[in-house]
A and B are shown apart, each in its own frame.
Chain A
Amino acid sequence: MSIIVLQLFIAGRTPRTEHAIATLRQLIELRLTGYPCELVIVDVLTDPQQAEERHILATPTLIKVAPLPQRRIIGDLADADGLLAALSLPSLPLA
């Protein structure tokens, strides 16, 4: 499988966004073990240009940039299984 590129758009560092980032990192570490993975975090408050270029309408937005097809999800990012399903990513069972 090619590299998995995830892009997370957040608005400032709040407990909620920190929690979303932690969930994603855990998901990459535990559920996508063995896949090359890249997580890019974009704060729309400090980098509004990127948000505009990608037509981001809300935060938090998570985009699976690669592999194609691109998927974009919005809302609660705390559910690992839901995320994997929504992003059409393979899910490895927890050891």
Chain B
Amino acid sequence: MSLVEIKGLAIRFGSLHNPIHAVRHVDLSIERGTIHGLIGESGCGKTISGMALLGLLPQSARVSADAFRFDGLNLLDVAKSLRGRRIAMISQDPAAALNPVLRIGRQMDDVLKSHSGLPRFQRRAVAEELLAATGLADPRRVLKSYPHQLSGGMQQRVVIAQALATGADFIIADEPTTALDVTVGAQVLALLKRLVQERALTVLMITHDMDVVAECCDSATVLYAGHTVEAGRTDELLAAPRHPYTQALLAALPDAVAKGERLASIEGHIPSPFAVIEGCPFAPRCASAMAVCRQAKPPERDDGNHCWTCHLEPHHG
């Protein structure tokens, strides 16, 4: 059974007649012990879907879903009580996640005090051990440091150690490498991959960067305008994308064409969050759109290890 099973998630804000559709129809299924990528451009609903998993949506949000389960539990009821116990988060900017006026030791201890129930001297040993597990060479020095005395990569490792300190087995990482240099980011991704194997963690990696997905994700889901448009194993998804949006996104990368050729940019804009979408959300910008695409919801298609929603008949052979 999948650890996370979401079907038909919709999140709306604002008035009842003219709501803001932050998330329209997200399906997401995450297997235990894997890193799953949630890919999409600004405004596609990827961060707010992650917040829903954490139970961090504001009061004004109206959430509905056909299924919204974590380890068999209905998250609509229990998300708040799982946060910090089974589900932890790593944010984009480690400098903002850490308190600038407290030493790392105090900040690690705060997490351990409220989650482990261990006596003080043991908590210190556990903190050292966790920092060492995230690849920090000198945990004692780190514990005595303030955040500004650490580099960005070291700060992100401390944040990861804090996530581990909660004892959570599911970690939501929202763009964890965007604020880091490419080579440092690659090290952080390698660390997450190692921790997933050693500690039987499951990670949801929210990102807009195809390189991050290729580097560390086992499988991924592509969102467009609050809809899941395609999901599958990473190698399948990157080598043979089926949905026109995924294809267009990969074709827009600078290494998709020979040097000097024009990049394939996607014309038009994402639909307004107020818009009522009858058919396929991507239809107005899709190069192979047909009349039916604007009128009816696209069917879900599946070729075994890869599923997508599109009116186009899949090509065989």
Partners in one complex: no
